[in-house]
Structure 1
Amino acid sequence: MKVIKTLISLSLCVIVFGGIEAQEKRLARADETFAKYAFVDARKIYLDVAEKGYTSSDLYKKIGDSYYFNGELEKSIDWYEKLMNEYSDDMDVEYLFRYSQSLKSIKRYDDADAIMEIFYKKTNTDKRAVYFVSTRDYLRFIEMQSGKFTLKKIDINSSASDYAPSFDNRGNLVFASSRSPYSSMSRIIHEWNEMPFLDLFISEVVEPDNELTQPKKIKGKINTKFHESSTSFSPDGQTVYFTRNNYTKRKIGSDTTGTVLLKLYRATLEGDKWKNIEELPFNGEEYSVAHPALTKDGKQLYFASDMPGAKGMSDLYKVDVLLDGTFGTPINLGDKINTEGRETFPYISDTGRLYFASDGHVGLGGLDIFVTVPEEEGFSIPYNIGRPVNSPDDDFSFVLNEMTKIGFFASNREGGKGNDDIYSFKQIEELITSCRQYVSGVVTDAESGVILSEADVLLLDEDGNEISRVASDAKGIYNFELECEKSYIIRALKNSYNPSEKLLVTNTALEYTHDVPLQLSKGGLQEQEVKPGDDLAKILDLQIIYFDLDKSFIRPDAEIELQKIIATMKQYPEIKIDVRSHTDSRAPDSYNMALSDRRAKSTIKYIVEKGGIDKSRLTGRGYGESALVNRCDNNAQCSEAEHQKNRRSEFILQK
């Protein structure tokens, strides 16, 4: 039941087509229906037109979307594929994302990733693209996270749509269903997906096996002839927040296009019936608000909305519930949580963890469920909770009793009774909710490509201090576990080979393995004929240690090269080096001599302080512009790149 699941609005219009022969008129009428989200009605016309040989990018988009937004992602693939193959120049980047998501629904992950690569190149600032490129090995992380829940099918599901489970204050299960046997109104068919409208039902949870009793409609005035879904109950059980179509005081409301949107309402319990229904004040007539989730103390309400300021198709928000029953100002949960895609169905556990469904964060396909833990300010980055809860289909509306470890969620995966089914689960292992990243690679000979085993591979912090050390295995492989948002240096050492290093900067999107193959250049110092006066930078094939114009500080790109000098001096403790620094020809000669001397001292200071090298092994001074490497003297007109070559340091062997 994609209607309320995706937060896209619900159209309550009924449009009858007949007697229109011209394809253009039929398409215009179908477009009108489609704009109000009556996808099934519109689809019949689009498919008929397509079967008669009419093609256009808009037609392919509409047919693909009619399946995509009804959760039938596998059926959208052919149409998005046609769109990409025939109208790639007229293809909005959003359809690349939808195409990729649809491919995941049939587990074509390599193809889906290839489409996301294109998506990233076209819109590299989109959060969904950023998460993808920083989470390329997402399947491996999801596999690590998987197996922490056991699933159980439950008997209360119907052949219609059942989802949005929640607990009332007594632990009973309340959920939304479009099942028909329970309501005279249920024969009204919603044109979005030809399913009856949703009502709210309750099943008692019977101990000790957590069996569910036969569902009954909740009592009172909450259920109407329109949609009701997704509930959240106050700690005392006397107040319920719920989602409904824009239907207040027996009047249906719509936006300027005639589409009926979603709103949040609350009701209070009188006896055993829900009454006193009121609309929440931050609803709007031109946007939807849905899927309430109260904190344990009832002081904050989380929800999903596409209100002005939302970053994507739906964002997550929170609002304070004040003591007098009024509300504060809704606050967007921000970039860590919300993307340009869909974030929806929030749930706040008793320990403050936020679970939600998203297709913007990297997952297995469709909507996946993610968890994020409270931090000093806001929440951590979200973590995919893995299989078997998540699947290539839509998985959403997750709730968990943290005491019993029993919970429920909904999915439209294969094998269910209806359009959406509710599944029970038991958590058997803790989720990974700390920042983890892994670096691995293969050590090889740079010239022959031969795998090198038993090479020492060191993990260093950004100051060159050793954190960990491993030996490459028989396949030349090494690996380390890293922390978030830190800089590291990976150094490989082996007899008869020069040291080799790579700078690695981790980020916050950590669900991937960062592969760093290290290649060692054959021919170490012991096998080369070296003598005093040789430049160690040339022997080690270092990048030139450049300086910025009129500056003497060590640039980040120079640090990695200086770390190689440090590694060599540690490996060969008899080496002594003379550091010679130079400038370009601009500025007076005397000024350049002083500047180059500061650069030499800065370089020596770095090697001593960052590398722990004894200062007695280093000498150095500045040479100003007296040893230019090109024609760029005081009389020459040179480019910045040509001048840059003269701003350098050399490392001359003294012993």
Structure 2
Amino acid sequence: MDAQERKVEKATENYEQLDYVNAQKIYLAVAEKGHESEELFTKLANSYYFNAQYDDAVKWYERLFDFTATPEDNNVYLRYSQSLKATGEAAKATEYYDAFLLNSDLQNTTIKAQDYLDIIQQNSGRYDIEVLKNVYDEKQISFGHLRLGDTLYYASTNSSKTFLNRRSAWDGLSFLSLYTIQVDSLNQTISKPKKLKGKLKSKFHESSPVFTADHNTMYFTRSNITYDDKNEDQRLKIYKAELKNNKWQKAEELSINSDYFSNAHPTLSSDNTKLYFSSDRPGGYGESDIYVSEIDSDGHLSTPVNLGPSINTSGKETFPFITADNALYFSSDGHMGMGGLDVFYIEILEDGYGHLLNIGAPVNSYADDFAFGIDLETRRGFISSNRSKTEGEFVYDNIYSFLETSPIKDVYFAQIEGVVTDKQTGEPIAEAQIVLSDVEGNIFKEVQTNEKGYYIVDINKFDSYLIKASKPQYDTDENMSKSGLERQSINFQLQQNEISLVPGTDLAEVLNIPIIYFDFDKSNIRKDAQVELEKVYAVLNFYPDLKIDIRSHTDSRGNDSYNKALSQRRATSTLNYLVDKGIDASRLSAQGMGETQHVNNCSNGVPCSKGEHQKNRRSEFIVKE
């Protein structure tokens, strides 16, 4: 190692002992001395906001809005609003949130009923549907979808006794019993209905069977009333039966049942480790919700878990069906539909759910449409409905077969992409954290930028999101996406806020001082430049051994020698300002660089825009060796 290298290494060690320059610390020192600027107050307020120090954030946002009634960054309206809300000032928070929406042109982000109908229309027309012959009877109830091999299992009132239907209302029909019927490859019936054999016959409703993969265990729904009890407030329970010697044995009720609420319409995950069902148990979101219980190796069930508000509503969610690829179909009258119960589709993901989709007409109709099931290989299935040939005419539930002719379209799918770069250098920032949340602060998704500073994230097309970009040693930034766009780009330029005091470091980068402004052809310090120099002065005060070299640059317009002399006068004027404030002159040096070190190609004779020339007119405060 030569002498020069040792000198640089020694200097680096010395300056690293001075720790880091923290921008918030410097900005606070300048502001507390009474200096004012929009940038100063915005930086301070944002720094507290992004660190959840809302009392301090409110203080500095107030100073900002006192300083200027119309800040350049519209996002401060939203941040001020959220800070006010966090500190209990709800009315004022609403005022600034409304101002944010107005200035962002985001006033109308709610999907209207007609928009929903247009969305439903996009997934309509994908099914060929027809009644199931030998089962269809407008005077009897039949529903179900489960096909094993060439056998369809379903529930029906196809008998002479007269009691209750699936809605628990007295109507003169018999109890539901489990039936089978043979069907061909096109789901056309090729036999007459038969009652399911075994010890399942009872004085109760039985419906909604589902089988384990080996076909030896059946879960099904049974009503919890006696034969003579015509109480309309009946409860339903889920039972389990075993197949022995080709006959179903006496059923046992599941541990999750109760005499005080209903469990009904079970379905199994493809690996038979989860039981999904509908229940009106306490603690749900509405009339009935969909739940799931884990099934252990011994067949024991865990405590049921509600599938949450992405699926369940204040209305009725029922008749779940899980596909082999882990998608959930269910019926609901709580989500926007075409009338009565509609069938909905949603993907079950490792970290939540996909977008909820109405599967459209003709499977869905003005009537109740439920008990949906589909074979993913043949794309054929069954749906039950009480629709009639003439709308408004009353008929009982009946089974229809269908063919799905095209896959469902995720009409809510959209994407946001962008690049995160360093504001000073323009270089991409890898591994920056991108967090999407709603305006209430609930996190939607989190991703990171790649080595090129690029990110992309899937979103709901009709929602708006707060998108926050952060990286250690950089100011956090936040922006708002727009709803209704299939693809949009939102880029971030992050300002470095903490920098090590090593030789060659430019304090202007971390303190956001691109230029010290002077009047045309002048070198006296303007009032607006004083706020910027106060930042440098604060650093020099915090670190009394620090020495810096002040460098002033011009653009290429004007005579070279004149620009050199002008920049030297300006650098010297900057030095004198700091000396007059009490900084020892031995700690400072001043260089006028003129137009010798441009950051772009705007040299003599090259046509450039005003903005491009502006980039070359800059001030630097370089930590000296």
TM-score, normalising length: structure 2: 0.49
TM-score, normalising length: structure 1: 0.47
